[in-house]
Structure 1
Amino acid sequence: MIINNVKLILEKEVVAGSLACENGVITAYADTPSQLPEAIDGEGGWLMPGMIELHTDNLDRFFAPRPKVDWPAHSAMSSHDALIIASGITTVLDAIGVGDVRDGGHRMDNLQKMIKAIRHSQKHGLNRAEHRLHLRCELPNDSTLPLFEQLMCIPELSLVSLMDHSPGQRQYVSLAAWRTYFGGKYQMSDAQLDAYQADQLRLAARWSAPNREAIAAWCRQYQIPLASHDDATHAHVQESQAIGSTIAEFPTTAEAARASRELGLQVLMGAPNIVRGGSHSGNVAAADLAAAGQLDILSSDYYPASLLDAAFRLAHDERNAFDLPAAVALVTRNPARAINLHDRGTIAEGLRADLVLVHEHQQQPYVRSVWAQGRMVF
């Protein structure tokens, strides 16, 4: 297969030319057009590597599209995969909450069902993107460690993150913000919210620290990449680095992001933060970290299409030093390397032909075509 008349987004530069692949891998690329009549005409679009998504909760909303609605697994997985591939994401780590009961228990109820759907669809070639597993371990819960130990040897497991959404710290340093969010989301009265807050604080005091240490120890033993989550202070980052974290997911302050880089953790921020112009929780803006040179990876989090949009926005933003290859690396090469995937993420000979053809309209990028291992899937 040959893709012609494209602007190739390479690791360090953009080159107008063509690309050839065979048997699922890139065999050559050139700064000249192909003369072969069977070549696919890219019509002057950008050709970039397929994007790598490390943390998306998108699967949740297909399994439970409305409160008390339990959707069939095959249909949910198929719909999720279709949206992922249409967004230009060719490798995705589906984030599954372990020990997270904030949504009335539906995440716990769906945990095994979602994992089985991911593994079954991947094993039988039903997906267009490659789906892997990211276990989001909610630490303040007595069920978290036993559930993790049941799941930690699944071959598809590619990342583990440690999170604590209890009130008064990290993402919810402001108790008022915590109460506004959870009171509104779950329609709690003040009395109910008081009881829920007390319960969360009790659970955090009992389980957060021992669960953090135990899960991190398993990850070190089995060499599973480990991420921190919502670190807010230098002390948080020191703790994360000490237990083996290599990725800092969504640091909430500039202090934590700076400390993460100083201690060797790669900083991952939400692409919706870039697209919306700031954090919906009032935390540090990802664009500010980009301008400070403290951004390594973008994640679409809850909105898959934001990944491509955010990369191009950063490339067009004169406040930072990201040219287009560097911005695209945030959603391709950098996340791939962070979880030790060295066969994808850049356009280079011998690597997987996971490719996305992108066009722009009024500086808004959109996906025209997607190839997964050389096969057109969108």
Structure 2
Amino acid sequence: MTAETTFANARLILNDEVITGSVVIADGVIADIATGTSVPAGAIDIEGDYLSPGLVELHTDNVERHLEPRPKVSWPFRAAILAHDRELAGAGITTVFDAIRVGSIVSDTGSGYPKYARQMTDEIMGARDLGLLRISHHIHLRAEVCSETLIDELDEFLTEDRIGIVSIMDHTPGQRQFVDISKFETYIRGKRTYTDEKWRRYLEFLYELQARLGTKHEAATVAAAKRLGATLASHDDTTADQVATSHTYGVRVAEFPTTVAAADACHAKGIATIMGAPNLIRGGSHSGNVAAADLAQMDRLDILSSDYVPAGLLMAAVQLGDIWGNLARGMRTVTAAPAQAVGLADRGTLAVGQRADIIRFSINDKTPVLQETWSAGKRVS
């Protein structure tokens, strides 16, 4: 017999509205949805809390924080992955695209960007195959154009790796995310120790590296995404011309555009715009770029990413619901919209036949309080 679980007396966050009703799950999928406040025998009384689809995260660097919990302190890969997985489950994230850097700096510059992508991917997939992970993990390759080893590292990945996203990233100071070089300096020197002279040499090294390999690396990234069958993403687009170039490459999602002009251009080209939840919650970008709240007010924000704070994803979605006066719309930016952007048709909405990825939360003084997370019909937090 098929075991069923019924959640009753809940506020169900559907794609376009919030209703009071119940959800039945069986064999890891949603089997039925009904309206009303009744609590049948054997059902779980949600007591008026919200039920939403599990959150879908397309870009998080969180696993790297577990790999290096303090500057120059390395942590075992498997232990870091398990800690990361459980943190995400506890934040209501049921599908994650783990953002793993490809493209390393192996010269003795003191920058601390060693090669790790192939090993990390193998560790994540190995943990998944062993049933050690609580949520659904996919791979997002962050292709760093300003690096020395990008092409060789991309060549290590094959179609059987089922890479979900490949993003084109260029963190050369003076453009894109770090138009303001002082922000780049604060970011890097906050993590690494540099004398003033060593810092000057490091900047010169990055400029030369990008000038020598940037164009070649960008082309290789586009080709790799096509070869791997992955969704191609741009990163930190700043100008309309950069967005136009992204469009010619076949980019479908734009991560963290830094200006209104770039967000407008993405909207005109049909490219979905991803903004960071920390930007929204903090009221602005830590790099001094466009505020996510401003783009939300202009209807130029399509998807939220937790970026570097997993617990921020649900909080920011609820905050967007307040901005728009529509909680269902706010929650779509962390459920249906990201799922659709990467072609995951089996999740992201509360609908019959969808994966039973479900979260339960209440809202206290405009702050969501997560109660439970279910992944494929199994409670994981």
Same fold by TM-score greater than 0.5: yes
Cα separation, partners in 2 of 1:180 and 1:83, compared to 1, 3 Å = closer
Partner residue of 1:121?
A: 127
Letter in 2 for 1:41: D
| Counterpart Cα distance in 2 of 1:252 and 1:104 | 28
Secondary structure of 2:80's counterpart equals helix
Report the secondary structure of 2:137's partner residue.
strand
TM-score with structure 2 setting the length:
0.94
Q: Does 1:95 align with 2:128?
A: no
After TM superposition, list the pairs within 5 Å mapping 1:1-378 onto structure 2. Answer: 1-101=5-105, 104=110, 107-317=113-323, 321=324, 323-378=326-381
Alpha-carbon contact 1:135-1:159 (below 8 Å) kept = yes
Taking the aligned partners of 1:329 and 1:140, their CA distance within structure 2 comes to 34
For the residues of structure 2 that align with 1:266 and 1:316, how far apart are their CA atoms?
21
Q: Which amino acid aligns with 1:111?
A: A
Alignment size in residue pairs: 375
Shift in Å, 1:271: 0.5
1:328-362 CA-partner distances (Å, limit 9, x unpaired): 00000010011100000000011101000011111
Residues 56, 93 of structure 1: 8 Å contact kept: yes
Q: Deviation of residue 105 (structure 1)? A: 6.3
Distance in 2 of aligned mates of 1:254 and 1:270: 15
Which residue identity lines up with residue 366 of structure 1 in the other structure?
Answer: V
Identity over aligned pairs, percent: 42
Secondary structure at the counterpart of residue 331 of structure 1: coil
Which deviates more, 60-69 or 82-91? Answer: 60-69
State the one-letter code of the partner of 1:342: A
For residue 36 of structure 1, give the secondary structure of its aligned residue in structure 2. Answer: coil
CA distances 1:185-214 after superposition (whole Å, capped 9, x unpaired): 323122111101110000001111111112
Q: Alpha-carbon deviation of 1:68?
A: 2.9
Query: Is the Cα contact below 8 Å between 1:140 and 1:206 reproduced in 2?
Result: no
CA–CA separation in structure 2 for the residues paired with 1:59 and 1:218: 23
How big is each residue's C-alpha offset from its partner over 1:150-195, in whole Å with a ceiling of 9 and x where there is no partner?
1243434100101111121111122333334333432312211110
Question: Per the alignment, in what secondary structure is the counterpart of residue 151 of structure 1?
Answer: coil
**Residues in 1 aligned to 2:228 and 2:125: alpha-carbon distance in whole angstroms:** 20
User: Which sections of structure 1, spanning at least 5 residues, go unmatched?
Assistant: none
Q: 1: distance between equivalents of 2:104 and 2:336? A: 31
> 2 CA distance for matches of 1:38 and 1:162?
50
Which segments of 5 or more consecutive residues in structure 2 lack a partner in the other structure? none
TM-score w.r.t. the length of structure 1 is 0.95
Deviations 1:314-339 (A, max 9, x none): 1112xxx3511111000000100111
Work out whether residues 217 and 243 of structure 1, in 8 Å CA contact, stay in contact via their aligned partners in 2: no
CA distance in 2, matches of 1:96, 1:107: 12
Tell me which amino acid in the other structure corresponds to 2:9: N
CA contact under 8 A between 2:162 and 2:228: conserved in structure 1? no
Residue 172 of structure 2: SS of its match in structure 1? coil
Aligned-partner Cα distance in 2 for 1:22–1:168: 53
SS of the residue 1:150 aligns to: coil
Work out the CA distance in 2 between the residues paired with 1:179 and 1:76: 28
CA drift at 1:107: 4.9
**What is the distance in 2 between the residues matched to 1:104 and 1:309?**
37
Structure 1 stretch displaced more, 336-345 or 70-79: 70-79
